[in-house]
Amino acid sequence: MAEYLVKVADERGTVVERTEAGASTAEVRDRFSQMGYHVFYVKERGLLGGGESGLGRRRIKLEDFVLFNQQFVTLIRAGLPILTSLDLLQKRQRSVGLQNVIANVRDRVKNGESLSHAFSAQRAKAITKIYTTSIMAGEKSGNLEEVLTRFIGFQRIALSFRKKLVSSLVYPALLILAIITMFTFLITYVVPQFGALYESLHVALPASTSFLLALGKGARVYVPVAFATVAIVVLLAMRWKNTVSGAAQIDRFRLALPVFGNIYEKYQVAAFARMLSTLLAGGIPLVQALETSASSLTSPTLANTVLDASVSVREGRPLARSLEEEGRFPELAVEMIEVGEGTGALPAMLNSVAEFFEEDVQTALTAALSLIEPAILIVMGLVVAFVLISLYLPIFSIGAAGQMSPG
């Protein structure tokens, strides 16, 4: 089925623009007309608008989506029907993308679809499979409020942890940006000025100075080309990353990195443990919870590991042994999961696994960055020292020669 951009107005005159899947333009138009909407237009989305990733998904901040769910739970707890709650929240949203998603979900529920199915039909990055699976479990158990509350807690912890990681990386990123900016300025502006000066003086130049001047002369020509090349390479890499083979190869490279590969793997294990704990506590069967958790992981390698383990679990084998045979999960995580299975407290033990590895990731990342930051400063100092010494060395030579000449 193709995707269509639809602009409609309801009986109150509220105009909404949204994305809708359908068999044809006429089918989508008839569908909305039968629902009582006035249809302004139905346009098929172009190549850049489609797909499961990138531009095809609505840009909704996860923070906004978590806040919406918190308000949604509050209204349900107060006794309001789901349709009334969605209608109220749709009007209060500042995010146009989230507003359109809620409006689409409300219309689907109004026409008889389940809440989980209505959310599953939305193409928005914040709406993950773990969310729709959790809602489905809440609908089947009749305890939607508790399931959503558990999901909100899970997302809040994940957001808090992610913010800590990002804040840890800000300072090193700024240092690297400062080095690149400073070096570009020195090579493209300062060095050519000294080159013009030495050409007018007709003096013999040391090898380091000659190298630097040649680099500066070429940089003015090739730096714009280099930036354009880098931009093209980055765009091509981003497109390649969205392919199955590209994502797998990039993931293998990340996991193979010294120090940071281990940190990334532990971060994924912590995310998996917390997702699986949330699903199991919500009443999802273990095999389905494993499959949902795997689909929510950003590492294809670990996602495939979990999927392979789910096959073994389906055949009746314990989860801990299934993960151990795959050979990707840390031994400590496997042992803790085994204890959780043995005591019948797997969700609680999975939370402990997540907390342990989140703390381990934070500690390891802080230690790695504490070594990297001085190294960046040392490299910056060496670069500046080399440039300054190379540029001023001929001047010192001329001054020394002037002092030695007979007065």
Does residue 400 carry a pLDDT above 70? no
Per-residue confidence band for 3, with pLDDT thresholds at 50, 70 and 90: low
What was the pLDDT predicted at 311? 92
| Residues 6 or more apart in contact with residue 271 via CB below 8 angstroms | 158, 296, 297, 298, 354
Res. 55 pLDDT band, cuts 50 70 90: very low
Q: Which fold has domain 261-360?
A: Receptor-associated Protein (1.20.81)
Task: Give Cα separations from 112 to 18, 43, 107, 115, 259 (angstroms).
Answer: 19, 25, 9, 9, 52
Q: For the full predicted model, state whether its pTM sits above 0.85.
A: no
- Cα 2–117–128 angle (5° rounding)? 85
Look at the block and give the residue holding tokens 């001085």.
374
What pLDDT band is residue 175 in, cutting at 50, 70 and 90?
A: confident
DSSP calls for 52-73: SSGGGSB---HHHHHHHHHHHH
What are the residue boundaries of the structural domains of the chain, listed by start? Answer: 1-50, 58-127, 261-360
131-163 pLDDT tens trace: 888 888 888 777 888 888 888 888 888 888 888
Q: What is the mean pLDDT of the chain?
A: 82
pLDDT tens-digit series, residues 60-106: 888 888 899 999 999 998 889 999 999 999 888 888 888 888 988 88
Contacts of 176 (CB under 8 A, 6+ apart): 376
pLDDT at 269: 92
